[in-house]
Structure 1
Amino acid sequence: MAVERLPTTYGLAESDPEQVLIDRRGVAPEDLAQIERIMAEMGRMRQVERKIMRSSQRYMQLNETDMRALRQLIAAKNAGRVTTPSDLRAYLGISSASVTKMIDRLEANGHVRRSQHPTDRRSQCIEVTEQTHLAAREQMGRHHAKRFDVANSLTPEEREVVIRFLAQTTDALEWSLEKSSPQES
């Protein structure tokens, strides 16, 4: 019987042969194979997401932080919220100087425009231009729509299993990250 090749190079036997990280004793071979498939498919999805991101960045000639800022500006626009440079700074976790440079660069390239804040005369608001909004929708939105189609094809019960799996995986990764990061004083 031929061994099915996983969609990525991930494999427990190769990545943790001595079972230092994951004790696999007592896990049935068929369960182990299925778990490896899940991990491999998650890895494959991350690879495709990175390809999509790099393609969009090249198309729009932007870096990752710029793309994150534009996604936030588009979401705010769609929700009817005003976005200030301070909002972007907090969302992106970067300095005020970095936000100013980024906005200057995005404005110079026609991606955003500044205007007077509607209620605070001392502040500006930043909004994405229509041209960039449309380009982002074409580049990223169509990929997001495919995710929706897949989720929509599942039964409500299947979606609950996927939701629980993703939420618990995210929680476990966050816990792991917190435990491995040096404590800030």
Structure 2
Amino acid sequence: MRYFSEDSDLIDQSGLSADEVDRCFRVLEGLREYQNAARALSEASKRYMKLNESDMRAIRMILRSAQQDRIVTPKDIAREVGISGASTTKLVDRLVEGGHLVRVPHPSDRRTTRLEVTESTRQSSRDTIGRQHARRFAVAASMSDDDRVAVIRFFKAMVDADLPQGELATS
């Protein structure tokens, strides 16, 4: 299913053969299929770990920070997830109660706590998300370097193309 008809006035097809136009649509369809697969995997991970999107973002952030020996506080979670202090408290309480996080005294600031992911959640994350990242890396590693450079260029251009413009950028 295509988002635009081939004769859409929004799509500049000048200089492209019919086969090239078809391949452009196939690239976009492949991207859409990948996005759908990634969403399905994310949903499955959330169900498996019994977490919502904000919970998952917080846990991923704490795991990344631990790899870099960075301390994570509730304020860091609020910034990362984009929620208020009160919502952050509820999120952290829920994750502590669910056995995903522990509060540890901050080593240099007695006014706050350090948040750490429990070993069981770290292992669950490794077994699910970590293994998926390893499969994705294997796909990238199996490509020629020229193909990887082309894919990098493509994704960078797609990110640039998807930046909000016009009214979307100002709202």
TM-score calculated relative to the size of structure 1: 0.87
Deviations 1:73-121 (A, max 9, x none): 1111111111011111111111111111000000000000011111111
Is 1:65–1:92's contact at 8 Å kept on the other side of the alignment?
A: yes
Secondary structure of residue in 1 paired with 2:166:
helix
Q: Does 1:114 align with 2:103?
A: yes
What code does the residue aligned with 2:79 have? A
Summarize the alignment of residues 160-171 of structure 1 with structure 2, pairs less than 5 Å apart.
160-171=149-160
The 1:156/1:79 distance shift into structure 2, 3 A limit, reads same
Secondary structure of residue in 1 paired with 2:8:
coil
Q: Does 1:72 align with 2:52?
A: no
What code does the residue aligned with 1:136 have? S
State how far apart, in whole Å, the 2-side matches of 1:142 and 1:180 are.
Answer: 40
Root-mean-square deviation (Å): 1.5
State how far apart, in whole Å, the 2-side matches of 1:81 and 1:126 are.
Answer: 11
Q: Does 1:102 align with 2:91?
A: yes
Q: Which residue of 1 aligns with 2:26?
A: 37
- Equivalent residue in structure 2 for 1:93, among 60, 79, 82: 82
State how far apart, in whole Å, the 1-side matches of 2:15 and 2:160 are.
Answer: 25
Q: Percent identity?
A: 36
Is 1:107–1:113's contact at 8 Å kept on the other side of the alignment?
A: yes
Is 1:151–1:159's contact at 8 Å kept on the other side of the alignment?
A: yes
Secondary structure of residue in 2 paired with 1:115:
strand
Q: Which residue of 2 aligns with 1:183?
A: 170
Gap regions ≥5 residues in structure 1:
1-8
What code does the residue aligned with 2:70 have? R
Q: Does 1:141 align with 2:121?
A: no
State how far apart, in whole Å, the 1-side matches of 2:161 and 2:40 are.
Answer: 26
State how far apart, in whole Å, the 2-side matches of 1:77 and 1:149 are.
Answer: 24
TM-score calculated relative to the size of structure 2: 0.93
Secondary structure of residue in 1 paired with 2:99:
coil
State how far apart, in whole Å, the 2-side matches of 1:43 and 1:170 are.
Answer: 14
The 1:17/1:41 distance shift into structure 2, 3 A limit, reads closer
Is 1:16–1:22's contact at 8 Å kept on the other side of the alignment?
A: no
State how far apart, in whole Å, the 2-side matches of 1:115 and 1:155 are.
Answer: 46
The Cα of 1:182 is off from its aligned counterpart by 5.9
Q: Which runs of 4+ in 1 moved over 2 A?
A: 15-18, 23-27
